Structure 1
Amino acid sequence: MNEVGQATAQALLRRLAVEQSESRVPSLVAAVVRDGKVAWFGARGLVGQAPPTRRTQYRLGSITKSLVAVVVMRLRDEGRLDLLDPLGKHVPGTPFGEVSIAQLLSHTAGLSAEPPTDWWERTPGLPAEELIARLDPGISKHRAGRYFHYSNLGFGMLGELVARHRGTTWLQAVQREVLQPLGMGDTTARPREPHATGYAVHPFADVLLAEPEHDAVSMAPAGQLWSSTDDLARWAAFVAGDTGDVLPADTLAEMREPATVDDGDAWTGGYGLGLQLMRNAGRRLAGHTGSMPGFLATVWADPDDDLGVLFMANTTSGVKRTLLPDLLAIMAEMEPRLPAEWQPSPADPDLLALTGLWHWGPSPYVLRVLPERGLSLTPVSGVGRASRFVPQQDGTWLGLDGYYAGETLRVAPDHLDLNTFIFTRTPYDPSAPVPGGVDGWDVHPGM
């Protein structure tokens, strides 16, 4: 059953109601997405004279960036570009043509956060040619690759890259390659009815100021789109892993990998390839925040739990960042997901013979058989280098994750060779080819 229980629904609604009331939000919608479907929807406030519905549009702001990034990754998968390519190979004429596409996707290109125009979020946009003509070397603020420095300008350039490769606009490419296949028909570049009006709430009085709305043109890939709860819920399901035919699962997983962090040693927030990342209460979440004048939106997805949360509001500022983590906490407390039932899985005798203790020098590791002929090698202590491996046609094994991701494991009768590291059944087994030689273990009584 997909819908949450009555007690859970009431707890979720109360948290939403507190947020709308205390933060003075004209209208606020939120949803929990479980197993790809909306399990709970809540709304507070009014849009016009009625409460908002699951089809009421709000502006997404920077969530737009993630959809543009998907098209960039599709171009990579098609072989039309490499993530290490310099921007100048695809969009010549900028003074930062040496920065890579991957750096633009992860906000590590060192570019200015904003374009050299009037306040782009509040004024009509410029065509790409005019924007590029305004760029000068001072637009680069940091050495490429050194810092996470969020750049709306960078995604404006990625939108232009998409347009040039597809021979159309960035918007038409996103519509054709992402929105239509995912059934996100309520996601548009300009608002359609029913939609919320964006407002600024006066800081010292309960009055509203309508915010402007326009086409940002060359900067539109950084924050143009509008969407509904149902469409953003479908996007949450996509980020959690339900990609349909839009992206291969491993490409989406690559987008969710942390390329950089934005809070130093704490590592609670970071960025992948077009996706923001957050660690919260044991979860690793992927998604994006969004803001434009009059609007706030955020979507997070937990791929491990197939769970997503989202909110949209028609206010320039005010919604607390804790809203969605609080909704996740309510779900974890009141409706924790049951673990999958354990079931036996057949294993070939040759694999069973490999299982058990192996030693890297004096350190013991355990090798286990995983379903579908996979292997895992983990330190007994729980601290150290752990990786999973999958078989290759030549009889070797390829590391999937951890320190040995991409490395080759070779199995010999008396040892494992993991990219020159030798694992033996006993510590430093002298019968195995341990580099450096082994003289034997000395025993010193009384020591």
Structure 2
Amino acid sequence: MTSPLEELLPSTQRALLHRIAAAQAEGRAPSLAAAVQRDGQMVWTGSRSCVDGHGPDADTQYRIGSITKTFTAVLVLRLRDEGLLDLGDPVEKYLPGTGVAGEVTVAQLLSHTAGLAAETPAPWWERTPGTLRPELADVLGGQARMHPAGRVHHYSNPGYTLLGRLVEVVRGESWAEVLRREVLEPLGMGRTSAEPVAPHAGGWAVHPWADVMLPEPAVDLGLMAPAGQLWSTTADLCRFAAFLAAGDEKVLSAESVREMRTPAAPAGPGEAAGGYGLGLQIVRSGGRTLVGHSGSLPGFVAGLWVSVEDGVAAVALVNATSGLSAPAVAADLIRIVVEAEPRIPEPWRPLPEVDQELLKLTGPWFWGTSSYALSLVADRGLELQPLRGNGRGSRFAARPDGTWTGLDGYYLGETLRVVRREDGSVSHLDLGSFVFTREPYEPGDAVPGGVDEGGWRGL
């Protein structure tokens, strides 16, 4: 019997160390802390250079910038799951007086398709105190909409300020307090906070043409906090990565987290291939799909990526304004682990029980003349896949009423049902009005439009 090793191979660990060492040296970063998580467990940590005279470890805080947005999105999804709001609701319903910004929906804010401005009016909000923007009007400015809502992906920091304020209005508490109680504590993220708690890195700007540095201010962002305020560690972000891969009933179900990971908006012009879900960036890197988020504030850059299929996640945190791409480093750490130590497949096992009536449904079916195979999987689920060509395939989950719901692909959310004759025998499968029969255009079956009486013929 074999099982995946908990520790990485020495050669893999050295390759990871080499990657962050080269990144820190070439990027001229004051310090870099990184970690890798596999199958829910942190399996490697590494760092280069010093923070306060000591090498940073997995519990050293760095500012994580826009990774904060993913936490804010989790809070909003919790409100949805509790029935306290609908993602299709206009923001005006919860934040009256927000003008044209109030016309957009909660879902559009989550996916950056609300058409709001990317930034607040001057002065630059990331480097100046939040006290300069005490009201939402100060955050939104006079031109709150730059594009038609729902038409284009346009990243908006003020949009997540609106979401944070929405959380406060619905919960009746501050965004930071709700986050601590509902997400950080349940996930065991005791070293993630709105304000820095020692040991933590200081933020630096590195001169582009000389090896000298300038300290960056670490300001309280005020109303903009839900867009980028948080400080965290590689250990805590690995815990968060495990949650983003599998969910946690104490915070959000696996189904709701899967919804966050599902593309809700394509990448905008000039952006990297991928897209954006609900509070999560989605990118393609090295032939695999990564979900997570990048982050930056003056003095800091951060990257958190999860490859759900491979069961591997990585974090990279840097205390420099520019010069080193933490998201690129995190993506490379995943690539190194996956290529060096590919995931060991789970052993095949037969189903614990078999429904004989469902078993009779398996095998070939035809949509017109296109051949498909229907397979029985765990928990009374079904899988429909084309036998030839590039037809539409999907997995289906069983419903209590004897039908099935599509889980992916073209039939996502569609209903599959078995249609029986008066004698109880199976006539055909109905999938969103598509009829699947045991034979192609079988005479006497419920084929839309009927079957020519002359039957099949040659030239």
TM-score relative to the length of structure 1? 0.96
Shift of 1:305: 2.5
Does 1:437 pair with 2:433? no
SS state at 2:255 partner: helix
Q: Which residue of 2 aligns with 1:362?
A: 369
- Distance between the aligned counterparts of 2:266 and 2:147, measured in 1? 16
Q: Residues 302 and 382 (structure 1 numbering): CA distance in 2 closer, same or farther, change over 3 Å?
A: farther
Structure 1 residue runs of 5 or longer lacking an equivalent are none
**Correspondence 1:174 to 2:164:** no
Aligned equivalents of 1:334, 1:305: Cα separation in 2 = 12
1:425 is matched with 438
What is the distance in 2 between the residues matched to 1:386 and 1:443? 30
Which residue in the other structure is 1:91 paired with? 95
Out of 302, 307, 319, the position equivalent to 1:302 is 307
Partner of 1:29: 33
Distance in structure 2 (CA, Å) of the matches to 1:134 and 1:187:
25
Q: CA deviation at 1:83?
A: 0.2
In the comparison of the two structures, how many residue pairs are matched? Answer: 445
Give the deviation of 1:128 after TM superposition: 6.9
CA shift for structure 1 position 286: 1.3
Kept in 2, the 8 Å contact 1:347–1:369? The answer is no
CA 58–135 in structure 1, closer or farther in 2 if over 3 Å, else same: closer
Q: What pairs with 1:177-216 in structure 2 (closer than 5 Å)?
A: 177-216=182-221
Structure 1 position 191, deviation (Å): 1.1
2:423 aligns with: none
- Asked if the contact 1:397–1:410 (Cα under 8 Å) also holds between the matched residues in 2, the reply is yes
Conservation of the 8 A alpha-carbon contact between 1:2 and 1:35: no
Local SS of the residue matching 1:414? strand
Give the match for residue 352 of structure 1. Answer: 359
- CA deviations 1:283-322 (Å, max 9, x no partner) are 2221110000000011011222221111000000122343
Are positions 1:46 and 2:60 aligned together?
no
Paired AA for residue 375 in structure 1 = L
Question: What is the DSSP-based 3-state SS (H/G/I as helix, E as strand, rest coil) of the residue aligned with 1:182?
Answer: coil
Compute the displacement of 1:264 (Å).
Answer: 6.1
Deviates more, 1:420-429 or 1:241-250: 241-250
Q: How does 1:47-446 map to 2 (within 5 A)?
A: 47-95=51-99, 96-126=101-131, 130-132=135-137, 135-136=140-141, 138-263=143-268, 268-320=273-325, 321-345=327-351, 346-381=353-388, 383-412=390-419, 413-439=426-452, 440-445=454-459
Asked if 1 retains the 8 angstrom alpha-carbon contact of 2:35 and 2:58, the reply is no
Q: Which moved more, 1:344-353 or 1:201-210?
A: 344-353
Q: Compared with structure 1, are the counterparts of its residues 22 and 340 closer, same or farther at alpha carbon in structure 2 (3 Å cutoff)?
A: same
Larger deviation, residues 410-419 vs 39-48: 410-419
Q: Is the alpha carbon distance of 1:158 and 1:208 closer, same or farther for their aligned partners in structure 2, counting shifts above 3 Å?
A: same
| Matches of 2:322 and 2:60, distance apart in 1 | 20
CA contact (8 A) 1:263 1:269 kept: no
Q: Which amino acid aligns with 1:230?
A: A
Q: Distance in 1 between matches of 2:412 and 2:7?
A: 39
Coordinate RMSD, CA, aligned: 1.7
1:6 maps to a residue whose letter is P
* Partner deviation per Cα, 1:183-217 (whole Å, 9 max, x = no partner): 11111111111111100110000000100111110
Q: Take 1:125 and 1:49, find their aligned partners in 2: how far apart are those partners? A: 31
Q: Secondary structure at the match of 1:435?
A: coil
Q: Which SS does the other structure have where 2:103 is aligned?
A: coil
Q: Distance in 1 between matches of 2:340 and 2:134?
A: 53
Deviation at 1:243, TM superposition (A): 2.0
Compute the displacement of 1:281 (Å): 2.8
SS in 1 for 2:135: helix
Which of 5, 13, 17 aligns to 2:9? It is: 5
In structure 2, C-alpha distance between the alignment counterparts of 1:266 and 1:276, rounded to whole Å: 11
Tell me the CA shift for residue 398 of structure 1. 2.0
C-alpha displacement of 1:368: 0.5
**What displacement does 1:280 show?**
2.1
- Work out the CA distance in 1 between the residues paired with 2:400 and 2:129: 57
CA distance in 1, matches of 2:183, 2:123: 31
The 1:206–1:397 alpha-carbon spacing in structure 2 relative to 1, beyond 3 Å, is same
Distance 1:10 1:152 in 2: 38
Deviates more, 1:10-19 or 1:48-57: 48-57
Give distance in 2, aligned partners of 1:15 and 1:444.
Answer: 65
Superposition misfits of 4+ residues, deviation over 3 angstroms: 126-129, 133-137, 263-267
Describe the superposition over 1:84-118 as per-residue Cα deviations: whole angstroms up to 9, x where unpaired.
00000001111221100000000000000011241
Give the partner amino acid of 1:398: T
> Take 1:437 and 1:242, find their aligned partners in 2: how far apart are those partners?
48
CA distance 1:231–1:135, shift in 2 (3 Å) = closer
- Structure 2: runs of 5+ lacking an equivalent: 420-425
Distance of 2:270 and 2:427 partners within structure 1 = 41
- 1:31-54: per-residue Cα shift (whole Å, max 9, x none)? 110121210101001112111111
